[in-house]
Amino acid sequence: MNVASRVGASVAALAAAAIVAGGPAAAEQQPLSIVATVGMIADVAENVGGDCVAVTTLMGPGTDPHEYQPTAGDVRRLSEADLILYGGYMLEEQMSEVLGRLGERRPALALMEAATDPAELIADEEEAAGIDMHLWMDASLWSRLAPTFAEALAEFRPECREQAERNAEAYVERLAALHGWVADAIATIPEAHRYLVTAHDAFAYYGEAYGIEVIAVQGISTMAEASVADIRETVDAVVETGVPAIFVETTINPRTVQAVAEAARQRGHAVEIGGALYSDALGEAGSVAATYVGMIFANTRTITEALGGDLPPLPAALADWAEEWGLPSA
């Protein structure tokens, strides 16, 4: 059975259970209430679902999903949702027990797992799922969540299928354009400086998709503190590569990366903090990084400019978004 039909079958069963529980009339009239764990997943649901969904997000800007422990209020919100949407692949490491328990009573979908095949993802044997779960860092890969979500939504709201499929198609097109633009932007960085030094290893997909070598102080998960050896190794890499800037992350204490920069300076290498990257959460509401497209744009702008590249205008497919933010587009 392929992934799509597997998702269809499991979500259909969940949807049928929900309709029995909630009554068919109530289930068809209201927008489907969805609680998403992280903003990147909520972005997919909102863009694809449109009027058919009402989406809220548990973990806001600056929240680290690897360490996040659900509050009593979160559990209540999750248990009242028509559909719980989470990433899976142990992204929500500390929530996995709660998600498993709620998933027995409420429809719950691990959207990243439903949309991808582990064999095509970046393996990491140190992780619980054996997989690097930071899939959103590759816009092309991430766009696959859109048709998967459209299919899931149609099981709950058959009347929304056509609109959701159209929206998913548009989302995929925008992300394809974004994907090409990021690759173009990174290619403007002088080759000798194409190193991305960050706090934790969230950027492997980004590095692979867009052609920049990633060096992280910490591993994929942030559950353990960075060790002295981790910091020393990163300092060595910074000094050896001669990279002009390294980056903090919005979901991680900047102390470790600041220590790396300070140690590199003491060894005579002038390195700056190039800015804060959105690794595992969207930016604040009202900021350019408040959406998925904006998150990838903001990261790419920060990286490209700090490492001496020259940001190209945004593609025509993103012209409306660019205009909203006063950014140049083709």
Name the minimum Å distance from CB 80 to Zn ion: 28
Give the CA count within 13 Å in the CB-facing half-sphere of 104: 5
Q: For residue 24, what are the contacts with CB-CB under 8 A and spacing of at least 6? A: none
Nearer CB in complex with Zn ion: 11/289:
289
Nearer CB in complex with Zn ion: 134/194:
134
Q: Segment contacting Zn ion (CB under 5 A): 39-47, 147-155, 160-168, 200-208?
A: 200-208
Tell me 191's DSSP state: G
Q: Segment contacting Zn ion (CB under 5 A): 139-147, 150-158, 242-250, 278-286?
A: 278-286
**Which of 95, 108, 202, 260 forms a contact with Zn ion (CB under 5 A)?**
202
**Which of 44, 148, 280, 307 forms a contact with Zn ion (CB under 5 A)?**
280
Which residues in 70-129 contact Zn ion (CB under 5 A)?
A: none
Which residues in 18-77 contact Zn ion (CB under 5 A)?
A: none
Name the minimum Å distance from CB 48 to Zn ion: 24
Nearer CB in complex with Zn ion: 189/303:
303
Name the minimum Å distance from CB 65 to Zn ion: 7
CA triple 67-68-70, angle to 5 deg: 145
Name the minimum Å distance from CB 242 to Zn ion: 27
User: Using CA atoms, how far apart are residues 111 and 152, in angstroms rounded to an integer?
Assistant: 9
Q: For residue 86, what are the contacts with CB-CB under 8 A and spacing of at least 6? A: 36, 37, 38, 41, 92, 95, 99, 108, 109, 110, 111
Nearer CB in complex with Zn ion: 92/280:
280
- The 125-154 site mask, x for binding Zn ion (CB under 5 A), equals ------------------------------
**How many residues touch Zn ion (CB under 5 A)?**
2
User: Using CA atoms, how far apart are residues 152 and 146, in angstroms rounded to an integer?
Assistant: 10
Return the axis-axis angle of helices 292-306 and 161-187, rounded to nearest 10°: 0
CA triple 111-140-14, angle to 5 deg: 15
Nearer CB in complex with Zn ion: 35/90:
90
Q: Segment contacting Zn ion (CB under 5 A): 158-166, 274-282, 296-304, 322-330?
A: 274-282
Q: 3-class DSSP state for residue 51?
A: helix
Tell me 295's DSSP state: H
Name the minimum Å distance from CB 192 to Zn ion: 28
Nearer CB in complex with Zn ion: 189/202:
202
Return the axis-axis angle of helices 255-266 and 228-241, rounded to nearest 10°: 50
Name the minimum Å distance from CB 217 to Zn ion: 13
Tell me the residue ranges of DSSP E strands in the chain: 32-36, 53-57, 83-86, 108-110, 195-200, 213-218, 245-249, 272-277
CA-nearest of 135, 114, 115 to 124 is: 135
Nearer CB in complex with Zn ion: 199/263:
199
Nearer CB in complex with Zn ion: 8/65:
65
Chain residues in the site for Zn ion (CB under 5 A):
202, 280
